[in-house]
Amino acid sequence: MKILVVGSIAYDSVETPYGKRENEPGGSALYFSAAASFFNSVNVVGVVGSDFDTSKISFLKKRHVNFDGLYVESGETFRWGGRYHTNMNKRDTLFTYLNVFEDFNPTIPDHYKDSQYVFLANIDPDVQLDVLQQISNPKLTVLDTMNFWINGKKDVLLNVVKKSDILILNDEELQELSGHDNLVNAGREIIQLGPKYVIIKKGEHGAMLYYNDRFFISPAFPLDKVIDPTGAGDTFAGGFLGYLASANEMSDQHLRRSIVYGGVMASFVVQDFSFKQLQNLDKQSINQRYKEFKELTIF
């Protein structure tokens, strides 16, 4: 079952207490694909500038990631810079240069339009809505967003939310979109807007799945060192939807396993800068950490 991801492709410059890297490949589409490709083939739609070095993502092509939907425009690739504090939950954005991404309005390739699983990464809701109108009856649509769009384009965003099956937010974004401080009430409010499921990202504290008036809670994997948390949320989404598409079944068991696999993939990506840890990862290591995840919650 092929997965379609529509999102950003960027050069990131990141500083953490463990070092500094400049112009490393990043962006939601690449982090998602680097994780999802361990479980399923992925179709990517994104845009880069003429300055982008595609050799840095050649490893993804070997893992059945299709870049027929990658547009190369004259100009510079989207660039983002950030500095993380000792407490990795806090960071300062140093710069954001949208460059060619500013006018991103993709045409979905014909052979992508029958993708059954769709991930709309954190991009302009107008673009997300346009993408959905180009897709032929997807089996499952997963939506990510952020407070910038909640504040700036809420009406359009709510239209996309209504057409999505799963909404991924952090707890602050969930509270802002729903108008409720309590997560239970917030989850109920979001379900009334259209999605069947809400995933609440809680960073170092794991993730929560809310559906049918029930919660499933998965912890984050305990690590002695987090090198770079950039892209952890998109990596989580890649592990989640990658596994779910491979199972091709929306049972409670597979949904919960998908949340755990999302946490597994996120736990790997933060152990190095960019997605270097995912580049050298193997399925055996993924399955071993999945088993360790299970042991964390047996009582």
Judged by DSSP in three states, 197 sits in: strand
**pTM of this prediction exceeds 0.85:** yes
CA 38 – CA 20 distance, rounded (Å) = 28
End-to-end CA distance of the chain: 35
Question: 98-150, pLDDT tens digit by residue?
Answer: 999 999 999 999 999 999 999 999 999 999 999 999 998 899 999 999 888 98
- ∠ CA 68-74-75, rounded to 5°: 115
C-alpha closest to that of 157 among 195, 187, 186, 185: 195
Number of other residues whose CB lies within 10 A of the CB of residue 98: 15
Which residues partner with 298 through β-bridges?
A: none
Structure tokens at 270: 């933060």
3-state helix, strand, coil in the chain (%, to 5): 40, 25, 30
**Residue ranges with strand state E in 160-271:** 166-170, 197-201, 207-211, 214-218
Q: Is 20 exposed, middle or buried (0-12, 13-18, 19+ CB in 10 A)?
A: exposed
CA distance 278 to 144: 21
The residue to which tokens 């598409």 are assigned: 245
Helices and strands counted in the chain (H then E): 11, 13
Q: What's the pLDDT score for residue 183? A: 85
The count of C-alpha atoms lying within 13 angstroms of the C-alpha of 148, restricted to the half-sphere facing its C-beta, is: 6
Domains of the chain: 3-160+224-296 (3.40.1190.20)
Count Cα neighbours of 222 within 13 Å in the Cβ-side half-sphere.
5
Strands 65-73 and 3-6: unpaired
pLDDT, one tens digit per residue, over 278-292 is 998 999 999 999 999
What are the structure tokens assigned to 197, written together? 């499921």
Q: How far apart are CA 277 and CA 275, in angstroms?
A: 5
Give dist(CA 40, CA 64) in Å, integer.
Answer: 8
Please report, in tens digits, the pLDDT of each residue of the chain (299 residues total).
789 999 999 999 999 999 999 999 999 999 999 999 999 999 999 999 999 999 999 999 999 999 999 999 999 999 999 999 998 888 999 999 999 999 999 999 999 999 999 999 999 999 999 999 999 889 999 999 988 898 989 999 999 999 999 999 998 999 999 999 888 899 999 999 999 999 999 888 899 999 988 999 999 999 999 999 999 999 999 999 999 999 999 999 999 999 999 999 999 999 999 999 999 899 999 999 999 998 988 88
d(CA 92, CA 115): 37
d(CA 7, CA 241): 15
Give the C-alpha separation, 163 to 249, whole Å. Answer: 20
Please give the single-letter amino acid code of residue 236. F
